[in-house]
Amino acid sequence: MLAFGIIFVFALFASAYVGEVNISEFVDGLPSFFNYFHQTLPEIHAKTFQSDIADWYWGIDKWMSFLWDTVLIAFLATLFGFVFAFILCFAASRNLNKNYWTYFICRRIMEIARSVPELVYALIFVFSFGIGPFPGVLAIAVHSCGALGKLFSEINENVDLGASEGVLASGGNWFQVVRYAVVPQVFPNFMSYTLLRFEINVRAASVVGFVGAGGIGQELMTSIRQFLYTDVSAIVLMLVLAVSVIDVSCEKFRHHIIGQEFLV
Amino acid sequence: MNQQLTVNVITNMYQQYPAVFRRPLKQRLVRWLIWTGFTAFTVYCLAQLGFFDVGMIAEGLGKLYGVVSFMLPPAAHGRFLDFLWAIFETLGMAFIGTLLAALIALPMGFLGSKNVIGHPVFHFVLRRLFDFIRGIDALIWALVWINVVGLGPFAGILAIACSVSGELAKIFSEAIENVDRKQIDGVRASGANTIQTMRFAILPQVFPVILSTSLYYFESNTRSATILGIVGAGGIGLQLADRIRVLAWDQAALIIIMILVTVYLIDTMSNRIRHHFIKAPEIQR
């Protein structure tokens, strides 16, 4: 216990040193932080309520279209991630693939894809493809492919092999085993994880814009950098609302899917 | 049951129970409509996000090939110690950020749990506040804090503390709501006031959960701390963005590898500590 205490205190001081923690700077900065928040709040009076709201959300059309782009980026990235994870996951499950090398290669591809953060991929892709939503989709798709592939192959490894023995016994090849014995068992779980990934990807899509990869992030960063205070609060509020609406509806849909049996 | 399966039997079956062999028309139509709609939406997305701009993609792929070939082999060019220092900075950011978040979240968790403060409106408002704080990404917090305390790792620490405190407060308050009622009654019966009840009846029960959750978040914050620097909040991300800006791709590749190794080490270490030191059941997340 004491040893852990000493390590903890040491880690604390070392971190404070390398992290350039400066209490006096923080205390000085604290009022300006609250000031910042105060400034982001729009002035809304009961008398001129409607025009005040309209004034606060002056850019609603533009922001809505960026928000829509963000959702599209997340959708497409999830779709691509799903497709590639689906292709890789069967070869990356030990119970379905007895060939060590293909197993090893598929596993490593997925590992590399998921361990590098989306934003790093986005930096590289923005450099190659230029500013816009295209590199954003690619970056999130690569990361999702790795993350989903891992989950998918874990589901595959827990599959009941009785059905696949049946297909093998009636003369099915490997693809037929996967198609008729494994996929029907795992598909609802795949869908559930994919929907969960879509929720995560909406959040990711809203920040890849910070490095120029499209979506609402680009607009948000401009308004933060240019100190357009009320714009910041307007966009953040929109974003949080949109994300929570998507979360709630995806959760409903997920529970609906898990309860259902997929026969075809 | 020893009827032999012949073509005759199958056609007979088909005529008797068509629904077993083929789905009813309505179901097929609905399925067809869903797939058409899905495909149309996908094509619309592709068009909207520039996937049909063949020239751009071809040029980009060429550039991407160039980037990857410049990345190999990764090299430090004498900056390895700078990078290592930045890694430590990242770890420090994650550590202090998590600690701060836990310190903020602990009282918030007590306030936000139903069995400590029973007022439903208060509970609802506080929980929605947690959700709102949680909903704002650490990168957004980082941009805001950069405006307040300037560029550097300190902004990153505060960003982590802000975004994670909402999440931790939610988890803590749920843990507090699930404590065993009997111990509270016991401590109350011996004449304790509210603060003493929290200290002696609730805290000992939730402490393992708090520790193991905080450790888990330290792990996940290490990941987010690596990218906070990309928007200017210090740590290894700052170095990475900087190296990419000057097109030193081999150094950028080295930094990416260093990030992967660090994250891997922290993962294994915190797993060890969790299993070895805190013998609490894994939290269902």
Nearest-10 crossing angle of helices B249-277, A100-115: 100
Evaluate if residue B102 carries a pLDDT over 50: yes
ipTM reported for the complex surpasses 0.85: no
Query: How many Cβ pairs within 8 Å bridge chains A and B?
Result: 157
What percent of chain B has pLDDT above 90? Answer: 18
Evaluate if residue B97 carries a pLDDT over 70: yes
Q: Are B210 and B131 in contact, with CB atoms under 8 Å apart?
A: no
pLDDT digits (tens, 9 = 90+) for A4-33: 788 888 888 887 777 777 777 777 777 877
Q: Which residue of A has its CA nearest to B64?
A: A128
Instruction: Using CB atoms, pick whichever of A12, A20, A239 lies closest to residue B154.
Output: A20
- How far is the alpha carbon of A239 from chain B, nearest alpha carbon, in Å? 8
Q: Residue B70: inside a domain, yes or no?
A: no
Chain A interface includes B55 (CB < 8 A)? no
**Cβ pair B140:A236 closer than 8 A:** yes
Q: Which residue of A has its CA nearest to B86?
A: A18
**Chain B residues within an 8 Å CB radius of A236:** 136, 140
Domain of B209 in residue numbering reads as 80-277
**Cβ pair B154:A22 closer than 8 A:** yes
| pLDDT at res. A124 | 92
**Cβ pair A75:B57 closer than 8 A:** no
Q: Are B219 and B267 in contact, with CB atoms under 8 Å apart?
A: yes
Chain A interface includes B278 (CB < 8 A)? no
Q: Residue B186: inside a domain, yes or no?
A: yes
**Cβ pair B64:A224 closer than 8 A:** no
Residues B87, B89: Cα–Cα separation, whole Å: 5
Chain A interface includes B67 (CB < 8 A)? yes
Q: Which residue of A has its CA nearest to B135?
A: A240
Q: Are A133 and A214 in contact, with CB atoms under 8 Å apart?
A: yes
Q: Are B51 and A214 in contact, with CB atoms under 8 Å apart?
A: no
DSSP structure string for A52-68: HHHHHTTTHHHHHHHHH
Residues B209, B114: Cα–Cα separation, whole Å: 18
Helix and strand numbers, DSSP H then E, in chain B: 13, 0
Evaluate if residue A137 carries a pLDDT over 90: yes
**Cβ pair B137:A244 closer than 8 A:** no
Enter the tokens of residue B132.
Answer: 């709102």
| pLDDT at res. B267 | 84
Residues sharing a CB contact under 8 Å with residue A149, sequence separation 6 or more, in sequence order: A84, A85, A88, A89, A92, A106, A110, A113, A114
Q: With bands split at pLDDT 50, 70 and 90, how would you rate the model's confidence at A71?
A: very high
**Cβ pair B96:A69 closer than 8 A:** no
Chain B interface includes A11 (CB < 8 A)? yes
What are the C-alpha distances in Å from B8 to residues A12, A47, A247, B3, B12? Answer: 81, 83, 53, 12, 6
Specify burial of residue B9 (Cβ count, 10 A radius: 0-12, 13-18, 19+): exposed
Instruction: Using CB atoms, pick whichever of B67, B92, B277 lies closest to residue A128.
Output: B67
Q: Which residue of A has its CA nearest to B91?
A: A15
Mean pLDDT over each residue of chain A, to the nearest integer = 86
- How far is the alpha carbon of A176 from chain B, nearest alpha carbon, in Å? 19
Q: Residue B171: inside a domain, yes or no?
A: yes
Across A46-55, B108-117, B191-200, least confident range: A46-55
- Give B153 or B116, the one with higher predicted confidence: B153
**Chain B residues within an 8 Å CB radius of A33:** 145, 148
pLDDT digits (tens, 9 = 90+) for B9-25: 888 888 888 777 777 78
Residues sharing a CB contact under 8 Å with residue B282, sequence separation 6 or more, in sequence order: B212
Instruction: Using CB atoms, pick whichever of A133, A240, A243 lies closest to residue B50.
Output: A133
Instruction: Using CB atoms, pick whichever of A33, A124, A133 lies closest to residue B148.
Output: A33
pLDDT digits (tens, 9 = 90+) for A81-129: 999 999 999 999 888 888 889 999 999 999 889 888 899 999 999 999 9
| pLDDT at res. B285 | 40
**Most A-contacting residue of B39, B95, B255 (CB-CB within 10 A), to test interface:** B95
Count of the separate structural domains present in chain B = 1
Evaluate if residue B35 carries a pLDDT over 90: yes
The alpha carbons of chain A give a radius of gyration, in whole angstroms, of 24
| pLDDT at res. A261 | 52
Instruction: Using CB atoms, pick whichever of B85, B93, B244 lies closest to residue A127.
Output: B244
**Chain B residues within an 8 Å CB radius of A29:** 148-149
**Cβ pair A116:B260 closer than 8 A:** yes
Q: Residue B107: inside a domain, yes or no?
A: yes
- AA letter at B56: M
Evaluate if residue A67 carries a pLDDT over 80: yes
What are the C-alpha distances in Å from A115 to residues A110, A177, B90? Answer: 9, 31, 17
Q: Tell me the average pLDDT across B213-221.
A: 88
Between the two ends of chain A, the Cα-to-Cα distance in Å is: 57
Closest CA to A203 of B75, B72, B136: B136
Q: Residue B130: inside a domain, yes or no?
A: yes
- How far is the alpha carbon of B190 from chain A, nearest alpha carbon, in Å? 30
Which residue's entry shows tokens 């699930």? B178
Chain A interface includes B103 (CB < 8 A)? no
Cβ neighbours around B254 below 10 Å, total: 22
pLDDT digits (tens, 9 = 90+) for A26-43: 777 778 778 888 887 877
| Ordered structural domains, chain A, with CATH | 57-258 (1.10.3720.10)
pLDDT digits (tens, 9 = 90+) for A208-232: 999 888 889 888 888 888 888 888 8
- Give A255 or A197, the one with higher predicted confidence: A197
The phi and psi torsions of A263 (rounded to 5 degrees) equal -100, -25
**Cβ pair A15:B143 closer than 8 A:** no
Q: Residue B192: inside a domain, yes or no?
A: yes
| pLDDT at res. B283 | 46
- Sign of torsion over alpha carbons B279, B280, B284, B285: negative
- AA letter at B259: I
**Most A-contacting residue of B5, B45, B238, B265 (CB-CB within 10 A), to test interface:** B45
Evaluate if residue A264 carries a pLDDT over 60: no
| pLDDT at res. B152 | 84
Residues A64, A70: Cα–Cα separation, whole Å: 10
Task: Tell me how long chain B is.
Answer: 285
Q: Which residue of B has its CA nearest to A73?
A: B49
Mean pLDDT over each residue of chain B, to the nearest integer = 85
- AA letter at B62: G
Q: Which residue of A has its CA nearest to B259?
A: A116
What percent of chain A has pLDDT above 70? Answer: 97
Chain B interface includes A71 (CB < 8 A)? no
Q: Which residue of B has its CA nearest to A125?
A: B64
| pLDDT at res. B252 | 92
CATH number reported for the structural domain that contains residue B201 in this entry: 1.10.3720.10
Q: Are B144 and A36 in contact, with CB atoms under 8 Å apart?
A: yes
